[in-house]
Amino acid sequence: MILRVAIIICLSFALAGCSEDVDPNEPTGFIQVKGSDTIVNAAQKISEEFMKEYPHVFVAVTGGGSGVGIASLINKNCDVATASREMKPKEIEIALARGVTPKEFTVAYDGVAVIVNENNPIDKLAIEDLHNIFTGKATNWRQFGGKDLGILILSREVSSGTHIYFKEEVVQLGKKGSTEEFSEQTLLLSSSQAIVEEVAANEAAIGYLGMGYVSERTKALMIGKDDVACLPDVDNVRQKKYPLSRPLYFYTNGEPEGVTKLIMDFTLGPKGQQQFIETGFVPTGETVGKEG
C-alpha cells in the first residue's frame, strides 16, 4: 500500500514537469547569473522581467561579490558574471588558459557612496580625507570637525568588487604600484546590507557601498575632489562629476549565444536599463559591448 502511494506520488511529480505544452519556437533554458553584490538587486529585477517575457527560460541570480562571479565564470559555473570592477589581467590570463574567453559588457554606471550615521554632523569629505580615514592615518571624527569619537571603518569582504575599486581609488589614491592597505582595524562585513545596519546603528561608523544601497536610515557624504564636492546621485554620476563613479559590467564566456544572448540583449535594451534606473543606478547609452 505504502509502495503504491509512493509510486503515485513519484509519477505525479514526473508528469507535472511535462504536462505543459511548449511551443517549439519558444526559447527554453536555464541561465545562471552570479557575482556582484552591488548589482544583485538590479540583476534580480532584470531576471524577473525577463522571465515574464520568456516564461520558459529560468534565470537564477546569486550574489556573493564580483570576485565570486568572475571565479565562477572561469570555473564555468555560471553563464553571466556580474561585476562592479573590471577583470584583472591575471584573471583574464587564467580564464584564457582554461578555454574561457571573457567578453565584457558595460551595463550601467554606479557611484560608490560613502555613508555615515545620521547623527554625524559631517556632510562632506575630500578624497584625501577618506584616504586618511580608511588607511588609519586619521582615527578621530574631531579631526574633520565632527564629534570627539573614534572612527569605526567598515568595508566589504575581499571578494567584493567595490572593495577592490575603493582600495585602488581611495586607499591607494589611484596610484599604480602603491602598496597601501586598508587600516588593520577595518571591519570586513560580508554584505552591503550589513554595512547599512551597522552604520544606521553606530555613530562612529563610516562605510562605503554602491549607491543603490543608500537609504534614508544613513547619510551619504558629499565627496570632494579639486575643491568641488557633490553627492552620489544619478545626475552627478551621469555627468561624471561625482569622483567615485564607475561602470558596472556583465561578463559572458565568448560571444553570448542562445538564451544568454537573449538576456544580454534584454539587459542592454530599454526594459533592462529601466530596471537599473529603478534600483538606483545610471543607465548606459551604449548597446554594443566592447571586447574584454
Binding site for another protein (CB under 8 A): 64-68, 70-72, 74-75, 91, 94, 150, 152, 157-159, 164, 179, 181, 184-190, 194, 197-198, 201-202, 204-205
User: With respect to another protein, which residue has the nearer C-beta, 12 or 193?
Assistant: 193
Q: Smallest distance, Å, CB 267 to another protein? A: 23
User: With respect to another protein, which residue has the nearer C-beta, 215 or 239?
Assistant: 215
| Sequence-distant (≥ 6) Cβ neighbours of residue 42 within 8 angstroms | 108, 212, 275, 276, 279, 281
User: CA 236, 46, 72, 104 torsion: positive or negative?
Assistant: negative
User: With respect to another protein, which residue has the nearer C-beta, 91 or 262?
Assistant: 91
- For residue 42, give the 3-state DSSP assignment: helix
Transcribe 88-110 into DSSP letters.
PHHHHHHHHHTT--EEEEEEEEE
Q: Smallest distance, Å, CB 195 to another protein? A: 11
| Sequence-distant (≥ 6) Cβ neighbours of residue 99 within 8 angstroms | none
Q: Smallest distance, Å, CB 163 to another protein? A: 8
Transcribe 127-148 into DSSP letters.
HHHHHHHHTTS--BGGGGTS-S
**Does residue 63 contact residue 72 with C-beta atoms inside 8 Å?**
no
Q: Smallest distance, Å, CB 220 to another protein? A: 21
- How big, in percent rounded to 5, are the helix, strand and coil portions of the chain? 35, 25, 40
User: With respect to another protein, which residue has the nearer C-beta, 107 or 189?
Assistant: 189
Q: Smallest distance, Å, CB 221 to another protein? A: 19
User: With respect to another protein, which residue has the nearer C-beta, 163 or 246?
Assistant: 163
User: With respect to another protein, which residue has the nearer C-beta, 46 or 68?
Assistant: 68
Q: Smallest distance, Å, CB 64 to another protein? A: 5
Q: Smallest distance, Å, CB 184 to another protein? A: 4
Measured in degrees and rounded to the nearest 5, phi and psi for residue 65 equal 125, 155
User: With respect to another protein, which residue has the nearer C-beta, 181 or 278?
Assistant: 181
How far is the C-alpha of 170 from the C-alpha of 153, rounded, in Å? 13
User: CA 61, 66, 69, 72 torsion: positive or negative?
Assistant: negative
How long is the chain?
292
Q: Smallest distance, Å, CB 51 to another protein? A: 25
**Does residue 223 contact residue 230 with C-beta atoms inside 8 Å?**
yes
User: With respect to another protein, which residue has the nearer C-beta, 120 or 275?
Assistant: 120
How far is the C-alpha of 277 from the C-alpha of 247, rounded, in Å? 14
